[in-house]
Structure 1
Amino acid sequence: MEPNGDSGRSVKSNETLFAIIESLKETDGAGVTELADRLDLAKSTVHKHLVSLERNRYVVNEGGRYRLGLEFFNTGVYVRNQYEIYHAAKNRIDRLAEETDEAAWLIVPENGLGMFIYGVPRNESFSFDSTIGTWVYLHANSAGKAILAHLSDEEVQQVIDRHGLPAQTEQTITDREELFADLEDVRERGYAMNFQEDLRGLHAIATPVIRDGRPIAAVTIAGAANRLTEERIEDELYESLLEAVDDIELRLVYG
């Protein structure tokens, strides 16, 4: 059967559109020529897509320089509000941050990665604005490892096959066998730890939110390495974290 030419062109056009959006995000805005050079595209192609994006409020044209528009924010708020876990966890995460005086975050897995969808920064451990909406590799993050530990070995391998085990710092686990051993430790302890594996100077602890036997999210407490010592995690923070997640899971069941 001959491939559908119109379908192929449509897919290519969509890929170009996404590339333009990502490039605008990376550059904090750009003109047609800059985008065309950056993406190795014809200026007419870039301009056509930008006009369409502007017409639909996804970009703003400021004197020939285009930046992403607030329609993306509108869409993002809508998407987050569709997640029941966000509504079930939000107030409890606020409380957790207040109780521990450390940053508390909600991470949700999707397509083999994790995204920060809500959090409360404390002690300037994180920049709130630059963290919400950020994707993280599951293997290099305490929340991610808490989630992976409650997936089957086959599912974990699928994540590795898709995203690899890239190093974020010199402490990141980049070996498959080492990761599986760490995940076994997570299951035995009941929580995952991150000692500067995704960010230098940062320690974190996380445990998953389980629903119907599946990890649908993870809650993490994160802070400066000198404050979040292993001793404090074991003696103080784990109990607070577990209580918070228990409350969230109950709310998911009973509303």
Structure 2
Amino acid sequence: MSHNDAGNREREPGSPIIKSVETSLAIVDELQARDGAGVSELADAIGKSKGTVHKHLITLRKHDYVVKEGDTYRIGLRFLDVGGYALHQVEGLQYIEPKVRELADITGETVQFSIEQRGRSIVLDRKAGKKGVFSRARIGKRFYMHQVAGGKAILANLPDERVREIVACHGLPAATDETITTEAELFEELEAVRERGYAFNIDESTHGLCAVGVPLTGPEGSVIGAFAVAGPSHRMRGERFESEIPDTIRSVINELELNLAHS
């Protein structure tokens, strides 16, 4: 289930890039970010002519990756098919998904499982318990690893060289005033995560949201991904946050790791 790739390979100078493909992908990104847009708006956003943008949209629409409603273009459900296929390529997911639901039921909070791919934390499953709150996370959502509990739990179990590659590629951008923004601070945090066995996110990705992240390791000891339980800061505090929830996650993960070892 390793999804590692050379952290900054895509940024190497001289790498062959097809500009027209990059234009199509930029249009897709803008349509997602803007929840739909017209030709002129897209042309201004990506710095291309309206004629060029229109040609790309026609091509994307022909293959159902884009749909048109009046003068507004939106992301098409063809991406759902591609995303579903990508998700179910992940080995062992059939064992992981029930544990996400189990943790959501036990804690009542929002639970997600994520992996690292190309230096980002990617959410593969997410369930909300009875008290679960809204967050930016959804299946397929990418996060900077240093900003989230699950990401830090994974980073703490990667070689230092790989962590440095990820930082060199993606930087340490801040989501809030509490986000780690220096490499020295990150490595200090990762050492603390290794010592306790789990990571905290206290207002580091979203103000008022706290989370606990615990790594999932494979039979050979390599990190597969991480489970995270997130909730509002008024509930995620004290002994419940610092020991009860981490112990609950680790108990569920121990059972899962046994299942994966014998599957």
Using the size of structure 1 for normalisation, the TM-score is: 0.91
The structure-2 alpha-carbon separation of the partners of 1:113 and 1:20, relative to structure 1 and needing over 3 Å to count, comes to same
2:84, 2:125 → 1: CA distance? 11
For this pair of structures, how many residues does the alignment match? 247
Paired residues of 1:57 and 1:69 also in contact (CA < 8 A): yes
SS at match of 2:231: strand
1:89, 1:13 → 2: CA distance? 38
In structure 1, what is the equivalent of residue 174 of structure 2?
167
Does 2:191 correspond to 1:189?
no
Gapped regions of structure 2 (runs ≥ 5): 1-14
CA-CA distance at 1:220 after TM superposition? 0.7
Find the structure with the greater CA-based Rg. 1
CA-CA distance at 1:199 after TM superposition? 1.0
1:38-94 Cα shifts (integer Å, max 9, x gaps): 222122211111111111111112233211110011111111111124222100111
Greater CA drift, 138-147 or 116-125: 116-125
Mapping for residues 31-50 of structure 1, pairs under 5 Å: 31-50=38-57
Does 2:258 correspond to 1:254?
no
In structure 1, what is the equivalent of residue 22 of structure 2?
15
Q: What is the identity, as a one-letter code, of the residue corresponding to 1:214? A: S
Structure 1 outlier segments of 4+, above 6 Å: none
2:22, 2:243 → 1: CA distance? 50
**Pairing partner for 1:231 from 236, 239, 252:** 239
In structure 2, what is the equivalent of residue 217 of structure 1?
225
CA-CA distance at 1:150 after TM superposition? 0.5
In structure 2, what is the equivalent of residue 140 of structure 1?
147
Q: What is the identity, as a one-letter code, of the residue corresponding to 2:184? A: E
CA RMSD of aligned residues (A): 1.8
Greater CA drift, 181-190 or 205-214: 205-214
Report sequence identity in percent.
40
In structure 2, what is the equivalent of residue 3 of structure 1?
none
Using the size of structure 2 for normalisation, the TM-score is: 0.88
The structure-2 alpha-carbon separation of the partners of 1:124 and 1:243, relative to structure 1 and needing over 3 Å to count, comes to closer
Gapped regions of structure 1 (runs ≥ 5): 1-6
Does 2:248 correspond to 1:240?
yes
In structure 2, what is the equivalent of residue 68 of structure 1?
75
2:193, 2:37 → 1: CA distance? 45
Q: What is the identity, as a one-letter code, of the residue corresponding to 1:28? A: D
Greater CA drift, 141-150 or 81-90: 81-90
Q: What is the identity, as a one-letter code, of the residue corresponding to 1:252? A: L
